Amino acid sequence: MKTGQQYKDSLRQRNIKVYVKGQLLKSNEVIDHPFIRGHVNSAALTYDLAHDPAYEDLMTVTSHLTGKKINRFTHIHQSVDDLMKKVKMLRMISQKTGTCYQRCVGFDAINSLYSVTYEMDKKLGTEYHERLKKFLEYWQENDLMVAGAMTDPKGDRSLRPGQQADPDLFVHIVEKNDKGIVLRGAKAHMTGMVNSHEMLIMPTMGMAAEDADYAVSCAIPVDAPGIIHIFGRQTNDDRKSEGEIDQGNARYGIVGGECLTVLEDVFVPWDRVFMCGETEFSGMLVERFACYHRQNYGGCKGGVSDVVIGAAAVMADMSGYGKANHIKEKLNEMIHLTESLYACSIACSAEGRPTASGAYFVDPLLANVGKHNVTRLIYDIDRIAQDIGGGLTATLPSESDLKNPEIGKYVEKYFKGVSTVPTEYRMRIARLIENMTGGTALVESMHGAGSPQAQKVMYSKLSNLEHKKRCALDIAGVPAEVAKELQAVTASKRK
């Protein structure tokens, strides 16, 4: 297993093309850029924690393929206990970083592909599962960071991939030969991509038969020829080129360092291809990935919210109103909401079941309900934090003003709370609240792992409404014939 420093050193060996604000970075300096450095640090912590005896049970596990001790982020879930420990691990790391550490997407991608390729091979006689296991051994042996790459730009959302005016708006196969395939297109909003070693391409939706060239999954090095990464903007990101205080979370940054990854005729050898036109399995892969990824959010957002709660409580103490009853009530409400998020992630893990491959899968209904809660409750948690934090979280002068020899004394004097706490520390907490409850972080809570509508579609499909109707009719004493008639009328109206 790599250490954090070994992980960073390995990134410098890549020949990666990354653009930030229109400028091409030197490949060995990508991880040092102010916009990227924090994201690298948060990912590096997932490596260092695996060597800490205090977290060994959460961070490490025995590979079911090799019998070796591995980082849990490279593991295929073998039990309900694995699913539970994943969520507990995510909350623990989030409490230490206050942000995203980016390894979850690839983690969920490999687990989804593991069960789907097994079932694909059983039905179609393909060889994808054995290929995937060989890639997984390589992944585990080298303790790689692999970015999951599902989301396509999508273009006109009313049209299917093959109907788009520009076919490249969804990643697709443009050539097949005896050595492999060639891909063209782009993946958007790619978390942790520029500080990963590899990416796992997946279809972004269930594909129809006519969209076979878009039903593709494969592994590609992030620095393969033809790949360009265009780094995305984040809230207040120019502050990362300035002082430390104004960043709020200078060590670990905001969210996951997302980017647009362009694939311009990228060659992929057959031994790295895990789906190639099997449209009937594309929807299964998307749904399993979505459920695994939505399982995460009560863990990671629970841990992040723990930090937000702590920051709000500290700000109240520093401002002199920490013992006020209304503050205690607000903090209790934040705690209630946070534990509600966590409970759903634990529940969907506890209700997990084995797939045909032997790998364990979460309860999909509870996973989707949990992620949908995140799209709502995080806003309430952050709103309360902003309420407690006060107006200065949005209007503070800069760190440069605080340190200016002429005007610093006024910033120190007029933004002090309780007399025993230096103004700088109060400013640090205010900026942390601003950082964690602002634009980029909230948008990620809304759309990470799919928009709220995506979760509604899933839990509507999974909730078995007809069974609920039958329960009500039985208890009310309504005859079965009436229930059947109602069902027939409803079905005809839908048509």
Q: Give catalytic status of residue 297 as yes or no.
A: yes
Q: What is the pLDDT of residues 6-49, one digit of tens each?
A: 999 999 999 999 999 999 999 999 999 999 999 999 999 999 99
Q: Give catalytic status of residue 321 as yes or no.
A: no
Helix (H) or strand (E) holding 273: strand 273-276
Predicted TM-score (pTM) of the model is: 0.94
Q: Give catalytic status of residue 218 as yes or no.
A: no
Q: How far is CA 486 from the centre of its chain?
A: 42
Residues of the chain short of pLDDT 70, as ranges, are 493-495
Helix ranges (H only) for 102-151 are 104-124, 128-142
Task: Give the start-to-end residue ranges of the domains of the chain.
Answer: 4-282, 285-462, 465-494
Per-residue confidence (pLDDT) for residue 484, from 0 to 100 = 83
**Catalytic hit among 218, 300, 344, 348:** 300
Per-residue confidence (pLDDT) for residue 237, from 0 to 100 = 93
Q: Give catalytic status of residue 104 as yes or no.
A: yes
**Catalytic hit among 191, 279, 393, 423:** 191
**Catalytic hit among 46, 293, 399, 437:** 293
Per-residue confidence (pLDDT) for residue 494, from 0 to 100 = 62
Per-residue confidence (pLDDT) for residue 493, from 0 to 100 = 66
**Catalytic hit among 33, 39, 46, 104:** 104
**Catalytic hit among 39, 101, 204, 258:** 258
Cβ-proximal residues to 396 (8 Å cutoff; 6+ apart), any chain? 415, 427, 430, 431
Q: What is the pLDDT of residues 317-352, one digit of tens each?
A: 999 999 999 999 999 999 999 999 999 999 999 999
CB 220 within 8 Å of CB 166: no
CATH (residue range 4-282): 2.40.110.10
Per-residue confidence (pLDDT) for residue 69, from 0 to 100 = 98
- Alpha-carbon distances, residue 336 vs 306, 309, 326, 329, 339 (angstroms): 11, 11, 15, 10, 5
Per CATH, is 285-462 categorized as 3.40.50.2000? no
Per-residue confidence (pLDDT) for residue 485, from 0 to 100 = 84
**Catalytic hit among 77, 97, 100, 151:** 100
Per-residue confidence (pLDDT) for residue 364, from 0 to 100 = 96
Q: Give catalytic status of residue 300 as yes or no.
A: yes
Q: Give catalytic status of residue 258 as yes or no.
A: yes
